[in-house]
Structure 1
Amino acid sequence: MDKITLQRIEKLHPVVRNEVMQIIKECDEALTGRAKIRITQGLRSFEEQEKLYAIGRITSGKKVTNAKAGQSIHNYGLAVDICLMIDGKTASWDTAKDWDNDKVADWYECVKIFAKHGWDWGGNWKTFKDLPHFEKKEIDTKKGPVKATWRTLLKMARDKNGYVII
């Protein structure tokens, strides 16, 4: 696991950090070729979200998100975006390439591992597919599972570090 991925995991919500470490470890073990996983985005501030939402609306460029500040699971540290790092040097978002020649695209090997851990993949969305995106939509708590929708998360109290109290 590379240093950048580790730094991004450390900023995720504490309830998912260990699970994300395990997912990335499993992905890296499954990918026996030249590709390894890098988290390109984890926790995102409301300010960062507003800037992304403005692209294609207020600023030039193609729209990159339909989520305003507070409407992205990234804003709560419960989502990650990934890429494949080829030979530790080149970022790739190629979902078809099979770098380890095991007859399964490396990207989909990772999609399966995230799914096994209960993470939703943006590639399964009906509209505005987001292939690099994975989010934890159900959090296990002492009181039972909690659906982690942005509407629910937005209303939750926060701890001293700014994380929603789950």
Structure 2
Amino acid sequence: MQGKSYRDDCMVPREELRYVHILHKDLDGNTKEGELVVNQKIAEDVLEIFRELYEADYPIEKVRLVDAYDADDEASMRDNNTSAFNFRFISHTTKVSKHGEGLAVDINTLYNPYVKEVDGQTVVEPETALPYVDRTLDFPYKIDHGDLCYKLFTEHGFVWGGDWETRKDYQHFEMPDTEE
């Protein structure tokens, strides 16, 4: 992680992060192993959510640390990788992402893209996800309001990026800020 997802300017102490090893099923129903790094605040919730997804045969193509992609979020998303911690900023902003705090998980990223208007242009991340922007279409791995992944994450208090008004992040579940 050091020098990749955990950069020198990372503001989250390493001792607040947890390594999570999970099982998941691929689209063919094969059992796969996966690994995530998350903030200790959500580690138990994430373990429970992935256990329930696994028991329900919910398809997740792969779950690898973003470090396997040299912390390149675009490369990870293009590979439909499910991931969590990666110290970075929100796309097209200077604000630390919830991923940079270890408080967000992205699921089946190629099929559930990030979509935003920037200077009058539609930006889709990953760039190869344009066929999956139209959420009225039916395709594998799609997350929507009727989806088990959506239901489990929101039951655990996460917010879904697909519900945001100014942009859509269909892959993204984050723990909202709480008032101290």
TM-score band, normalised by shorter chain: 0.5 to 0.7
2:143 is aligned with 1:118: no
Call closer, same or farther: CA 1:120–1:66 in 2, change over 3 Å: farther
2:20 is aligned with 1:20: no
Q: Deviations over 1:88-134 (max 9, x none)?
A: xxx754674468xxxx9797221011111111000000011000000
Task: Give the gaps of 5 or more residues in structure 2.
Answer: 1-22, 24-31, 64-81, 113-131
Q: Distance in 1 between matches of 2:165 and 2:145?
A: 23
Q: Are 2:39 and 2:101, in contact at CA under 8 Å, matched by a contact in 1?
A: yes
Q: Deviations over 1:1-22 (max 9, x none)?
A: 143x32x1xx211121121011
How large is the RMSD of aligned CA atoms in angstroms?
3.2
Q: TM-score, normalised by structure 2?
A: 0.49
Indicate the residue corresponding to 2:29 in structure 1.
none
2:107 is aligned with 1:82: yes
Q: Distance in 2 between matches of 1:121 and 1:136?
A: 9
Q: TM-score, normalised by structure 1?
A: 0.52
Rg (Cα) greater in structure = 1
Q: Are 2:145 and 2:151, in contact at CA under 8 Å, matched by a contact in 1?
A: no
Q: Which has the higher strand share?
A: 2
Call closer, same or farther: CA 1:14–1:105 in 2, change over 3 Å: closer
Aligned AA (1:74): H
Aligned AA (1:22): E
Alignment of 1:47-86 (within 5 A): 49=89, 65-70=91-96, 72-83=97-108
Task: Give the gaps of 5 or more residues in structure 1.
Answer: 54-64, 85-90, 139-145, 153-166
Q: Deviations over 1:31-68 (max 9, x none)?
A: 36xx236452311214xx3xxx6xxxxxxxxxxx2442
Q: Which has the higher helix share?
A: 1
How many equivalent pairs are there? 108
Q: Are 2:60 and 2:107, in contact at CA under 8 Å, matched by a contact in 1?
A: no
2:87 is aligned with 1:45: yes
Structure number with greater CO (CA < 8 Å, separation at least 6) is 1
Call closer, same or farther: CA 1:73–1:133 in 2, change over 3 Å: same
Give aligned-pair identity as a percent: 27
